[in-house]
């Protein structure tokens, strides 16, 4: 069994505006046009696989506009926040190559909730989230 991988691209609890270095890293992944299979990626990211939530997150490009409550999702192999789907859809944010390949390998079909070991996901999420920025 492999460890849970995190596709977390931004500290969702960061103040608006982001510090310059964090904003610069975010901007390098914004594209003018959709990435290959973007609709498939968005559909996968929006799969109802949430397991942890919190406060609203801020759109770092819209004058600090509150978007929606943060929810973390997982397919048992990867973990991501619902903000990722928002940024991919609104800004054509490019997800990591490995995560894109994982989604394509699954043909964009997320597992059902019953196929996921949620105890393992939560254990690794809360242990791993301490190191995610």
Higher confidence at residue 133 or residue 39?
A: 39
Q: What are 18-60's pLDDT values in tens digits? A: 677 777 777 888 889 999 999 999 999 999 888 887 766 666 6
The arrangement of strands across the sheet holding 66-74 comes to: 5-7, 78-81, 66-74, 50-58
Cα three-residue angle 90-94-99, rounded to 5 degrees: 120
User: pTM for the whole thing?
Assistant: 0.79
pLDDT digits (tens, 9 = 90+) for 62-116: 666 666 777 889 999 999 988 888 889 988 999 999 999 999 999 999 999 999 9
What's the whole-number mean pLDDT along residues 9-22? Answer: 63
Domain tally, the chain: 1
Q: Which residues contact 99 (CB under 8 A, 6 or more apart)?
A: 5, 7, 78, 80
**What does the pLDDT read at residue 76?**
94
Phi/psi at 92 (5° precision) = 55, 40
C-alpha span between 50 and 104 (Å, rounded): 20
Please give the pLDDT value at position 7.
80
pLDDT for 133 equals 41
Residues 6 or more apart whose CB falls under 8 angstroms from that of 90 comprise 59
Asked if residue 12 has pLDDT above 60, the reply is: no
Range of the domain at 112: 5-131
Does residue 5 contact residue 131 with C-beta atoms inside 8 Å? no
């Amino acid at each position: 069994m492999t460890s849970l991988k995190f596709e977390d691209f931004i500290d969702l609890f960061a103040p608006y505006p982001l510090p310059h270095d964090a904003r610069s890293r975010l901007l390098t992944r914004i594209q003018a046009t959709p990435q290959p299979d973007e609709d498939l990626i968005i559909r996968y990211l929006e799969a109802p696989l949430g397991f942890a939530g919190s406060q609203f997150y801020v759109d770092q490009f819209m004058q600090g506009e509150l978007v929606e409550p943060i929810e973390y999702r997982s397919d048992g192999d990867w973990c991501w926040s619902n903000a990722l789907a928002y940024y991919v859809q609104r800004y054509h944010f490019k997800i990591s190559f490995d995560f894109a390949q994982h989604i394509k390998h699954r043909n964009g079909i997320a597992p059902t909730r019953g196929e996921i070991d949620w105890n393992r996901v939560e254990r690794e999420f809360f242990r791993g989230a301490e190191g995610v920025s």
